[in-house]
Amino acid sequence: MKTKLNLLLLLVIMGVSGSALAHRFSTSFLTMSSATEGTQSWTWRIVEHDLDTLVNSHHLTKSESDDKWLDAIVKRLISVNEGCEVQVEQSGNMLETVYAGQTYVDLNGQIICVGGSLSELSVETVFSSISDHKVVLAIPSNSTKQVLSLSQTNWKK
C-alpha cells in the first residue's frame, strides 16, 4: 500500500513539475513611436523561441546572412490599414536581452503611410501558430495600451 501511495505521489509530482517546465509565458511587446510625416517607427520585443515557432510555422528559414526571412515573417505577422506598409530594419540591428530567464529579440522597423496615418493594425496570424500568445501594443502618441490576443487580434484608431 505504501509503495502504491509513493508511486502515485511521484506521478503527481512529475506531472505538475513537467507541465510547469513545459509551459513558458508567451507575451511580446509591440511599441510604436510618435509618427512624423507619415512614418512611424516600431519595436517588437518577442521571445526568441516564439519567433522561431512563428518562422517555422510559416515554412521560412532563418539565415543570418540573408535578411529576407525577417522581412517576410514580419510582413506576414503585422498587417496595417490600406495606404500603409510595414518595413523592417536589417537583422544586424537586432538586440537580444534576457528578462525573467527568457531571451528576447528586438525587431525594429517603420510603418510608412502615404497620404494618411496608421489607423488599424492586426497581428491575427500570430495566434494561428501560438494561440495563447499575447501582444502588448503601446502607441504613446494617442495614449493607447492594448493587449492583443486570440479573442482581440486588431487595434483600430
5 found inside a domain: no
Report the alpha-carbon distance of residue 155 to residue 77 in Å, rounded: 14
Examine the pLDDT at 112 and tell me if it is beyond 70. Answer: yes
User: Which of 15-29, 74-88, 96-110, 138-152 shows the lowest per-residue confidence on average (mean pLDDT)?
Assistant: 15-29
Q: Is the pTM of this model over 0.85?
A: no
Tell me, rounded to whole angstroms, the distance of Cα 22 from its chain centroid: 19
Examine the pLDDT at 104 and tell me if it is beyond 60. Answer: yes
Report the alpha-carbon distance of residue 68 to residue 66 in Å, rounded: 6
133 found inside a domain: yes
The model's pLDDT over 50-90, given as tens digits with 9 standing for 90+, comes to: 888 888 876 666 665 566 778 888 888 999 998 999 998 87
Q: How many separate domains does the chain show?
A: 1
Report the alpha-carbon distance of residue 111 to residue 38 in Å, rounded: 8
11 found inside a domain: no
15 found inside a domain: no
The model's pLDDT over 27-49, given as tens digits with 9 standing for 90+, comes to: 999 998 866 777 889 999 999 88
145 found inside a domain: yes
SS3 readout for the chain: CHHHHHHHHHHHHHHHHHHHHHCCCCEEEEEECCCECCEEEEEEEEEHHHHHHHHHHCCCCCECCECHHHHHHHHHHCEECCCEEEEECCHHHCEEEEECCEEEEEEEEEEEECCCCCCEEECHHHHHHCCCCEEEEEEHHHCEEEEEECCECEEEC
User: Which of 13-17, 79-83, 106-110 shows the lowest per-residue confidence on average (mean pLDDT)?
Assistant: 13-17
Residue 133 structural domain: 25-156
Q: Name which residue leads in pLDDT, 148 or 144.
A: 148
Confidence of residue 134 (pLDDT cuts 50, 70, 90): very high
Q: What is the mean pLDDT of residues 133-138?
A: 93
Q: Name which residue leads in pLDDT, 19 or 58.
A: 58
Contacts within 8 Å (CB) and 24+ apart, 89-96: 91/64, 91/67, 92/67, 96/48
